[in-house]
A and B are shown apart, each in its own frame.
Chain A
Amino acid sequence: MDLDIDEASAAFRDEVREWLAEHVPRPALSSMDTAEGFAQHREWEAKLADARLSVVSWPREYTGRDASLLQWLLFEEEYYAAGAPGRVGQNGIFMLAPTLFAHGTQEQRDRILPPMARGEQVWAQAWSEPEAGSDIAALRSRAVRTDGGWLASGAKTWSSRAAFADRAFGLFRSDPESQRHRGLTYLMFDLRAEGVTVRPIPQLDGEPGFAEIFLDNVLVPDTDVIGEPGEGWRVAMTTANNERGLSLRSPGRFLAAADRLVTLWREQGEPAAVAERVADAWIGARAYQLYTYGTVTRLAEGGGLGPESSVNKLFWSHLDVALHETALDLLGPEGEVAGPWTDGYLFSLAGPIYGGTDQIQRNTIAERLLGLPREAR
Chain B
Amino acid sequence: MRFAPTAEQKQFAESLHDLLAGADTPAAVREWGEGRHEPGLKIWRDLADLGVPALLVPERDGGLGASAADLVVAFEVLGYHAVPGPLVESVAVAPRLAPRESLPALASGELLATVASPPLVPYALDADVAGLVLRVRDGGVERARSVAGPVRSVDAARRLFRVRAGEALGDAPGEAFELGLLAVSAQLAGAGRWLLEQASAYARQREQYGRAIGSFQAVKHLLADVATRLELARPLVHGAAVTMTACDVSAAKVAAGEAAYLAARTALQVHGAIGYTAEHDLGLWLTRVRALTGAWGGAAWHRARVLAGLDVRDG
Are B154 and A338 closer than 8 Å at their CB atoms? Answer: yes
Contact B276 A353 (CB under 8 A): yes
B152 touches A333 (CB 8 A): no
Other-chain residue from A134, A202, A337 in contact with B279 (beta carbon distance below 8 A)? A202
Tally A-B pairs: CB < 8 A.
Answer: 121
Interface of B (DSSP majority class): mixed
Contacts of A359 in B (CB 8 A): 216, 218-219, 269
Chain A interface size, under 10 / 10 to 19 / 20 to 34 / 35 or more:
35 or more
Knowing A332-B298, A338-B154, A359-B216, the reply to whether A349 touches B276 (Cβ < 8 A) is yes
**Inter-chain contact B272/A377, CB cutoff 8 Å:** no
Chain B residues with Cβ below 8 Å from A338 are 151-154
- Taking CB atoms and an 8 Å cut-off, the chain B residues in 186-232 that contact chain A are 207-211, 216-219
CA distance A333 to B272 in the complex (A): 28
> Which A90-131 residues have C-beta < 8 A from chain B?
128, 131
- A207: nearest chain-B partner, CB-CB: B278
CB of A357 within 8 A of chain B?
yes
B37 at the interface (CB under 8 A from A): no
Return chain B residues, CB-CB under 8 Å to A329: 293-294, 298-300
A134–B299 Cα distance when bound, in Å, is 35
- B291 contacts the other chain (CB 8 A): yes
Spot the interface stretch: B13-21, B59-67, B116-124, B129-137.
Answer: B116-124
**Are the CB atoms of B294 and A202 closer together than 8 Å?**
no
Interface check A9, CB cutoff 8 A: no
In the bound assembly, the distance between CA atoms of A296 and B151 in angstroms comes to 45
Question: Does B147 count as interface, using CB distance less than 8 angstroms?
Answer: no
Which among B99-107, B138-146, B155-163 touches the partner chain? B155-163
For A137, the closest partner residue in chain B by CB is B209
Q: Is residue B26 contacting chain A, with contact meaning CB distance below 8 A?
A: no
A228 located at the interface, meaning its Cβ lies under 8 Å from any Cβ of chain B in the complex = no
- Give the residues from 34 to 71 in chain A that come closer than 8 angstroms, CB to CB, to chain B: none
Bound-state Cα–Cα, A353 to B277, Å: 13
Smallest Cβ-Cβ distance to B291: which chain A residue: A336
Q: Are A332 and B287 in contact (CB under 8 A)?
A: no
Q: Which residue of A lies closest to B298 (CB)?
A: A332
B residues less than 8 Å from A271 (CB atoms): 300
Q: Are A138 and B208 in contact (CB under 8 A)?
A: yes
Interface residues of A (CB under 8 A from B): 128, 131, 133-135, 138, 157-158, 201-206, 210, 271, 273-274, 321, 328-329, 331-338, 342, 345-346, 349-350, 352-354, 357-359, 362-363, 375, 377
With A138-B210, A273-B303, A321-B265 given, name 7 new contacts (CB 8 A).
Answer: A134-B208, A202-B278, A203-B278, A329-B294, A332-B298, A336-B155, A350-B273
The 6 A-B pairs of least Cβ separation, nearest first, read: A273-B300, A338-B152, A202-B278, A336-B291, A377-B209, A335-B294
